[in-house]
Amino acid sequence: MEEQTVREVIVATHYPRMFASIALAMLALFLLVASFAELKGYHYIGSGVTATNTITVSGEGDVFAVPDTATFTASVIETGKDVTTAQTAATKKGNDIVDYLKAQGIDEKDIQTTDYNVQPQYEYSNAVCSGGYCPPGKQTLTGFQVSETFTVKVRDTTKAGTLLAGVGTKGASSVSSLSFTIDDQDALEAQARDKAIAQAKTKADALAKSLGVSVVRVVGFNENGSQPIYYAKMSAGVAMDAAAPSAAPTIAVGQNKITSDVSVTYEIQ
């Protein structure tokens, strides 16, 4: 009788605990699976649904503006029997040019030496051929050539012609690469881009209407880099003669064209 009572007590206490443990284990497994599914879902938050039906159109926008900055280069070239002689002469003329530009109101930060070269100069003579044999020619060092090139930025374009002539009187051997730019071009590029995007949107709406669909959203955008077109530019070199000052040339500033080309992809439905 006592043995039966003990067995009943064991059954009454052991099995409920076992069932409770099993239930807790199943609950833990369920929560783990639910948590994993929720974390996996986070991967898609913000990514949206990939568009399957799309159209791609292009747009172009142009903006014209009068340049406010001129840039040109002035070079000094001197020769001498030795490096010191050539450098001394080139330095004298280079300093004269810089002093002249500063006196004309050009800021020192807008005058930059962009090239400096020292090159030996040789004279070549051909040897006399004899009996069908021609010995190598003779190379004789005759001196050295020193050249220095300045790049000058002029923030008052009305002074460009005067400065081009003026640097010649101070010893510049050549003046070249005159170009006109816009100092702060970011705003103009943004305007051109806005025009290009507006044109692309107009095209997309017209195409969607023809197809009998509607534009939903932008799913792709690309802007092709384009350089501004300069309508006033002198790229050829001009030789200068310091002994005979020339009249200031008339410089046509013209206008620059800033272009933006875009490609926009729209989802349609």
Rounded distance between C-alpha atoms, residue 74 and residue 175, angstroms = 4
Note down pLDDT in tens along the chain; length 269 residues.
555 554 554 445 555 566 666 766 676 666 665 555 554 544 444 456 676 899 999 999 999 999 999 999 999 999 999 999 999 999 999 999 999 999 999 999 999 999 999 999 999 887 778 777 787 878 899 999 999 999 999 999 999 999 999 999 999 999 999 999 998 889 999 999 999 999 999 999 999 999 999 999 999 999 986 555 554 444 334 445 444 455 778 888 888 999 999 999 999 99
Rounded distance between C-alpha atoms, residue 265 and residue 51, angstroms = 10
Ranges of each domain in the chain: 68-126+135-182+231-251
Are 174 and 91 within 8 A, CB to CB? Answer: no
pLDDT of 42 reads 46
Pairing label, strands 256-268, 229-230? antiparallel
- The residues pairing with 220 across neighbouring beta strands, listed in sequence order, are 265
Q: Helix, strand or coil for residue 226?
A: coil
Q: What is the pTM of this model?
A: 0.63
Residue among 197, 174, 194 at smallest CA distance from 186? 194
H helices, E strands: number in the chain: 4, 10
Looking at CATH, the fold of the domain delimited by 68-126+135-182+231-251 is given as Alpha-Beta Plaits (3.30.70)
